[in-house]
């Protein structure tokens, strides 16, 4: 069934969009990520303008992270003080990211920068995740404990000043690295149009040693607030949020996420990280392929948008 | 060199404003099946039908069948486009060169009785801008504004991509004479249509000369729910954004309630 999207200004098959929402929702529920890094490229592939895709996907991510956050809230698996500290940094990062976005757009090299950033970010995160999870799986085989959190084990991050106690995560750490991570995620999210959950979760685990019990729920709160405000901001500044497209995506995503979450609960954490690592790396390689392999068509035509 | 050829092209385009000589006073009357295309939720493209008739006058009686040629040009709202060319830079493919096409039609359909080249000599076609190859596409080249020769790689790429998108088309043999004076033509509008006002130009040729022309307008606009959504997004953007966000949160909340297990 074809439906005409009022803002994207093209007809799409409603079931294709719904199925994409379902599939990405399943993955996001399983790994506790927003799934923007999968959904945005898929929509662009369907022929939707990149700017509309980025703006509308924010709605899908906001919906799926809200539904996720609610269930984590009921299980008391969210560290709200930690989330609000990350958010403080996130706002600064988003502002910096939007400024860079505008600058690159004026220089005409936004697409290349986004491509290279995706390759670098997804490649590095993917490889790190895969190698770490393989080591964890091997450790598990040898009968040693697989937990990353060794009580009393401190690194240099724990020596920084401005310490704060995060009760639910049972941590007593400096807020400086928390802000730094928030800034980084906000920055990356604004430039690449992604929620950043797949980067945030590993960073919280590896750098801050946030326990796995609270890490996903906390990351979802951050994603929810940044994406919900990004949606309003996109709507106000560019008028590019397609509510019809977003609604189909989020209904599919909401259903998919529930099944994904159930599938994820039956799997061991290091296996999940291994699979997510492969997924992240695959998307990164797909972007690398586009950059390195000669394109089918050397030419492209676009409407000249007035500079912001 | 190419730039100079373009300046001649532009000069010819200006000459196109001159009216055909009164000696060949033959009248042309045409009408589209609809003057307004409404794009609603089930829009996947539209087919327009144009009917027209050649009216004989005292000084110019109707010629025998087969001696008339019709050229219909439908052009959409004008916009400025960029054509970019990718090249290899340090191992990756990046946009290296670009040309701006200033105020060119977003949609251009040329529907004729015969292949465009067979209707009239090239200079006559250039003067009236009939056929994709004879349409002026102004480029910004440095500080100059000019059209280029049809074989220019950027112009050719632009034409090819617009044709692949269904936005530019040239369809010979698509105008049929139903009687010695009555003709009809089908004009397809693509799914990814551009909104705004379209110009319809119908030209009557015989013996390679323009005899008469007729003009019409076509309006393509969103309607119903689509129009409402698009207008809200444009005019009440904050409210629209907040509503969209609320909708997202509602869907998220609903799915967590419906699938709640604990």
CA distance A250 to A22: 9
Rg of chain A over CA atoms, in angstroms? 19
Partner-chain residue, chosen from B79, B80, B86, that has the shortest CB–CB distance to A298: B86
pLDDT digits 0-9 by tens, A123-134: 988 898 899 888
- Are B95 and A108 a contacting pair at CB < 8 A? yes
Q: What separation, in Å, do the N-terminal and C-terminal C-alpha atoms of chain A show?
A: 37
Looking at chain A, the whole-number percentage of residues with pLDDT higher than 70 is: 91
Specify the higher pLDDT residue, A269 or A220: A220
CA distance B72 to B79: 21
* Beta carbons of B70 and B183 less than 8 angstroms apart: yes
Q: Supply the pLDDT for residue B66.
A: 80
Supply the pTM of this predicted model: 0.73
Q: Which runs of E-coded beta strand occur in chain A?
A: 2-5, 10-13, 163-166, 171-174, 299-303
**Interface membership of B14 toward A (CB under 8 Å):** no
φ, ψ at A185 (rounded to 5°): -65, -45
pLDDT digits 0-9 by tens, A216-252: 888 888 888 888 888 888 788 777 889 899 999 989 9
Sign of the alpha-carbon dihedral angle for B129, B135, B139, B141: negative
Partner-chain residue, chosen from B41, B84, B93, that has the shortest CB–CB distance to A291: B93
* Beta carbons of A263 and A31 less than 8 angstroms apart: no
> Which of A80, A33, A85, A86 lies closest to A60, judged by CA?
A33
pLDDT digits 0-9 by tens, B112-167: 998 988 888 988 888 888 888 888 888 877 677 777 777 888 898 999 999 988 89
Q: E strand or H helix at B3, and its extent?
A: helix B2-15
pLDDT above 90 (res B72): yes
CA distance A103 to B76: 32
> Which of A280, A281, A277, A270 lies closest to A148, judged by CA?
A270
CA A140 to chain centre: 28
Position B182 confidence tier, pLDDT thresholds 50, 70, 90: very high
Query: How many CB pairs below 8 A link A and B?
Result: 182
pLDDT digits 0-9 by tens, A251-266: 998 888 888 878 877 7
Beta strands B168-171 and B108-112 are parallel
Q: Which residue is closest to B223 within chain A, CA to CA? A: A6
pLDDT digits 0-9 by tens, A17-73: 999 999 998 888 787 777 888 888 888 878 887 778 888 888 888 888 888 888 888
- Are B229 and A244 a contacting pair at CB < 8 A? yes
Specify the higher pLDDT residue, A202 or A179: A179
Three-state DSSP class for B129?
coil
What is the DSSP code string of A143-157? Answer: T----S--TT---GG
pLDDT above 50 (res A307): no
For testing contact with chain B, the best of A120, A254, A258, A265 (most B CBs within 10 A): A254
For testing contact with chain B, the best of A1, A9, A10, A107 (most B CBs within 10 A): A9
> Which of A169, A219, A216, A177 lies closest to A196, judged by CA?
A219
- Are A300 and B83 a contacting pair at CB < 8 A? yes
Task: Give B251 to chain A, closest Cα distance, Å.
Answer: 6
Looking at chain B, the whole-number percentage of residues with pLDDT higher than 70 is: 89
* Beta carbons of B49 and B200 less than 8 angstroms apart: no
> Which of A74, A34, A63, A29 lies closest to A259, judged by CA?
A29
Most confident of A158-172, A189-203, B201-215: B201-215
φ, ψ at B212 (rounded to 5°): -160, 160
Task: Give B193 to chain A, closest Cα distance, Å.
Answer: 8
* Beta carbons of B133 and B156 less than 8 angstroms apart: no
DSSP-derived secondary structure letter, B18? S
Q: How far is CA B53 from CA A23, B185, B215, B218, in A?
A: 56, 12, 13, 19
DSSP-derived secondary structure letter, B62? P
Q: Supply the pLDDT for residue A272.
A: 82
Looking at chain A, the whole-number percentage of residues with pLDDT higher than 90 is: 5
**Interface membership of B7 toward A (CB under 8 Å):** no
Q: Which residue ranges make up each domain of chain B? A: 3-222, 224-262
Q: Which runs of E-coded beta strand occur in chain B?
A: 27-32, 36-39, 46-55, 68-75, 78-89, 92-105, 108-112, 139-141, 144-146, 168-171, 175-177, 182-189, 196-206, 209-222
Mean pLDDT value of segment A180-203: 82
Q: Supply the pLDDT for residue B199.
A: 93
Mean pLDDT value of segment A268-277: 83
* Beta carbons of A221 and A200 less than 8 angstroms apart: no
Position B168 confidence tier, pLDDT thresholds 50, 70, 90: very high
* Beta carbons of B255 and A247 less than 8 angstroms apart: no
pLDDT digits 0-9 by tens, A83-127: 888 888 888 887 788 778 777 766 666 777 777 888 888 898 889
pLDDT digits 0-9 by tens, B5-40: 444 444 444 444 444 444 456 788 999 888 888 888
> Which of A271, A83, A72 lies closest to B260, judged by CA?
A72
Residues from chain B that touch A59, judged by Cβ atoms under 8 A, are 244-245, 247-248
Q: Supply the pLDDT for residue A308.
A: 39
Task: Give A161 to chain B, closest Cα distance, Å.
Answer: 37
Q: Is B13 left (phi over 0), alpha (psi -120 to 50) or beta?
A: alpha
Specify the higher pLDDT residue, A143 or B248: B248
Beta strands B196-206 and B209-222 are antiparallel
pLDDT above 60 (res A192): yes
CA B201 to chain centre: 11
Q: Supply the pLDDT for residue A96.
A: 85
Chosen CATH of B3-222 out of 2.60.40.3880, 2.40.170.20, 1.10.10.10, 3.40.190.290: 2.60.40.3880
Strand partners, A140: none
CA B222 to chain centre: 18
Mean pLDDT value of segment B42-55: 88
Partner-chain residue, chosen from B94, B248, B260, that has the shortest CB–CB distance to A231: B248
Residue with the two structure tokens 């996109």: A234
pLDDT above 50 (res B177): yes
Position A16 confidence tier, pLDDT thresholds 50, 70, 90: very high
Write the CB contacts of B131 (distance below 8 Å, at least 6 apart in sequence). B71, B110, B112, B116, B117, B125, B170
CA distance A296 to B92: 14
Specify the higher pLDDT residue, A107 or B57: B57
Partner-chain residue, chosen from B80, B238, B253, that has the shortest CB–CB distance to A66: B253
CA distance B76 to B196: 7
């Amino acid at each position: 069934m074809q439906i005409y999207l009022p803002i994207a200004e093209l007809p799409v098959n409603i079931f294709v969009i719904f199925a994409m929402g379902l599939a990405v929702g399943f993955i996001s529920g399983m790994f506790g990520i927003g799934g923007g890094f999968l959904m945005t490229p898929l929509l662009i592939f369907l022929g939707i303008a990149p700017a509309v895709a980025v703006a509308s996907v924010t709605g899908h991510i906001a919906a799926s992270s809200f539904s996720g956050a609610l269930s984590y809230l009921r299980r008391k698996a969210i560290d709200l003080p930690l989330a609000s500290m990350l958010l403080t940094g996130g706002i600064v990062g988003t502002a910096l990211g939007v400024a860079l976005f505008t600058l690159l757009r004026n220089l005409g090299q936004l697409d290349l920068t986004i491509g290279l950033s995706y390759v670098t970010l997804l490649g590095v995160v993917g490889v790190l995740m895969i190698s770490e999870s393989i080591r964890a799986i091997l450790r598990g085989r040898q009968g040693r404990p697989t937990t990353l959190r060794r009580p009393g084990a401190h690194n240099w991050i724990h020596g920084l000043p401005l310490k704060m106690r995060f009760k639910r995560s049972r941590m007593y750490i400096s807020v400086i690295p928390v802000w730094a991570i928030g800034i980084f995620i906000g920055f990356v999210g604004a430039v690449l149009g992604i929620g950043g959950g797949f980067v945030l979760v590993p960073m919280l685990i590896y750098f801050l040693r946030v326990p796995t019990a609270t890490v996903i729920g906390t990351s979802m709160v951050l994603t929810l607030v940044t994406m919900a405000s990004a949606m309003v901001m996109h709507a106000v500044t560019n008028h590019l949020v397609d509510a019809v497209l977003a609604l189909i995506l989020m209904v599919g995503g909401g259903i998919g996420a529930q099944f994904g979450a159930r599938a994820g609960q039956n799997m061991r954490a290091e296996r999940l990280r291994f699979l997510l690592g492969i997924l992240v790396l695959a998307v990164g390689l797909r972007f690398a392929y586009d950059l390195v392999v000669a394109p089918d068509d050397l030419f492209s035509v676009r409407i000249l948008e007035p500079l912001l | 060199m190419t730039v100079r050829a373009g300046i001649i092209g532009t000069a010819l385009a200006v000459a196109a404003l001159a009216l055909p000589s009164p000696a060949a006073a033959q009248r042309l009357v045409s009408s589209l099946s609809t003057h307004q295309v409404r794009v609603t939720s089930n829009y996947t493209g539209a087919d327009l039908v144009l009917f027209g008739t050649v009216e004989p006058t005292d000084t110019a009686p109707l010629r025998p069948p087969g001696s008339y040629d019709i050229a219909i040009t439908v052009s959409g709202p004008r916009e400025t486009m960029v054509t970019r060319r990718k090249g290899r830079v340090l191992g990756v493919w990046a946009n290296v060169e670009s040309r701006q096409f200033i105020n060119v039609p977003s949609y251009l359909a040329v529907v004729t009785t015969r292949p465009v080249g067979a209707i009239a000599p090239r200079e006559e076609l250039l003067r009236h801008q009939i056929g994709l190859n004879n349409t002026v596409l102004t480029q910004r080249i440095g500080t100059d504004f000019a059209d280029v020769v049809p074989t220019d790689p950027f112009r050719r790429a632009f034409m090819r991509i617009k044709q692949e998108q269904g936005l530019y088309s040239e369809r010979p043999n698509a105008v049929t004479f139903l009687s010695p004076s009555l003709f009809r033509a089908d004009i397809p509008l693509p799914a990814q249509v551009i909104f705004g006002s379209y110009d319809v130009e119908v030209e009557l040729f015989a013996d390679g000369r323009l005899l008469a022309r007729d003009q019409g307008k076509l309006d393509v606009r969103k309607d119903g729910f689509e129009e409402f959504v698009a207008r809200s997004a444009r005019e009440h953007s904050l409210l629209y954004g907040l509503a969209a966000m609320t909708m997202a949160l509602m869907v998220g909340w609903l799915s967590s309630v419906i699938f709640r297990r604990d």
